[in-house]
Structure 1
Amino acid sequence: MTRRPTLLAAIALTAAAALSLSACGSDDDSKDKSNDKIAGVGTESSASASPSASASKTAGRPKITFPSDAKNVFEYQKTGDAAKDAALADSTLSVNSVDEAIFKASTGTKALGFYNTERALSGSITYVLGYINKKHTWVGETRYFDYKVTLSGSGKAYVTYCSDESKSFIKEKKTGKVKNTPTTANSYVLYNSKLVKNAEGVWQTTDVASNRGNKACQP
């Protein structure tokens, strides 16, 4: 499979965030970004962790839609802590908002700025524009798993997770051609993200760092 560029590979977490996520690896990505994957987003989650259920608690949340040939699957268990579970759910919606922007070929979607802010938002816009300029999209399924969440005070959270891109592929819009290459260690990516709860109760992603091929995410 041809790797989707790693989402916001150039965006570094703050030093404090990196220390808080010491078990999750580095955001140093020395690989050619053309071979990396952008942070995938999807419309499905495990039965034990439904972003839509949490999202319904806050009015005015934009609806996120995906084409029928692409989806993300989020696998995590609820912690039982309301704040942690809300941060986990909104972190998946942040991922989905970026992918929706790719599918719609627009950086002006409502969800993109709703679930992302600061460096995460500016990086997401750059990332999406990369797809738009190349007239690319993606198809298949990206799986997100091994979630860990840590709270810092009452309004900050750090969420780490892995992605499995072995079943998702870049597609050329003009020709419809899907680019395929064999699955390797680089099909798996470790993500570290920082979220801040805004005045409306939405956990917005403010920073994202990725590490492709990290041993912690290998099957």
Structure 2
Amino acid sequence: MHARTRVGLALLAATLSLAVTACGSDAKPAANPSIPGVDGGTAAPSASPSSSAPADADRPKITLPADDVLVFEGENTGDPKMDAVLRDNAEHIRAVDDAIARKDPKSAAVAFYTKDTALVDTSTWINDFIKDGKTVTGTVRHFARKVTFLKDGAAAVTYCADESKGFTKDVKTGKVDVTPATKNSYVFYNERLEQNDKGVWQTAKTISERGFQACQP
């Protein structure tokens, strides 16, 4: 199993049911109150981007090691508000890898893009990497990314991650734990994002399913 899956997801996946029919471009989270990101109602129409969105200069600088490559497909949907959600979702993921590389479980960048349950679980997960003397390496591709706006103002983001070329690495020896690609190399994510008073879409909750059929090639 590829150990890169984020945020204590095994625990979340065990306690929350996955409510999605597919991971393709027309996938949509089902209306189920037990799913983070879904309030049990219908999706709200997209609105114009918040005027309080932070300038790039206000955002934390995130620099990943050269051997840690994160690819995000479908960044430009043509809808400015959806694009803002997808951008902040990607920055959340990049911030986590950055914190692991810098051995910083209290990363300001992670806190900037994360809140609530996701922030607690993410900090614990980063600290586990540090305790184990591990970091991340390789390439992870994020695709089939979809945003659904909810009645309560939050956004549900679903996507797949191809971790077949993403691995863990021993910090001291530099040895990469290369594992063969299997169905479990492909992970489905369902995340709830909430916009704060600065206009940042913060990840609040995450669930996943490893080996999700629709995410596999």
TM-score normalised by length of structure 1: 0.78
- Structure 1, unmatched stretches of 5+, are 28-54
Which of residues 82, 96, 99 is equivalent to 1:98?
96
Q: Secondary structure at the match of 2:104?
A: coil
Evaluate the alpha carbon distance shift between residue 117 and residue 14 of structure 1 in structure 2; reply closer, same or farther with a 3 A threshold. farther
CA distance in 2, matches of 1:188, 1:161: 11
Task: Spell out, residue by residue over 1:43-102, the C-alpha distance to the aligned partner (whole angstroms, 9 max, x if none).
Answer: xxxxxxxxxxxx874551101111111110001152222221111111111111111110
Corresponding residue number in structure 2 for 1:11: 12
Query: How many residues align structurally?
Result: 189
CA distance in 1, matches of 2:161, 2:16: 23
Which of residues 178, 189, 194 is equivalent to 2:192?
194
Q: Is the 8 A contact 2:4 2:167 kept in 1?
A: no
CA distance in 2, matches of 1:116, 1:12: 19
Matched, 1:76 2:74: yes
Q: Is the 8 A contact 2:188 2:209 kept in 1?
A: yes
- Please provide the CA RMSD for this pair: 2.7
Shift of 1:165: 0.7
Whichever residue aligns with residue 12 of structure 2, its letter is I
Evaluate the alpha carbon distance shift between residue 177 and residue 58 of structure 1 in structure 2; reply closer, same or farther with a 3 A threshold. closer
Matches within 5 A, 1:36-185: 57=55, 59-153=57-151, 155-185=153-183
* Greater C-alpha radius of gyration: 2
- Structure 2, unmatched stretches of 5+, are 21-27, 36-52
Evaluate the alpha carbon distance shift between residue 135 and residue 16 of structure 1 in structure 2; reply closer, same or farther with a 3 A threshold. closer
Corresponding residue number in structure 2 for 1:21: 29
Corresponding residue number in structure 1 for 2:40: none
4+ runs deviating over 4 angstroms = 12-20
TM-score normalised by length of structure 2: 0.79
User: Once the two structures are aligned, what percentage of the paired residues are identical?
Assistant: 44
CA distance in 1, matches of 2:14, 2:179: 30
Task: Spell out, residue by residue over 1:161-191, the C-alpha distance to the aligned partner (whole angstroms, 9 max, x if none).
Answer: 0000111111111111111121100000000
Matched, 1:215 2:216: no
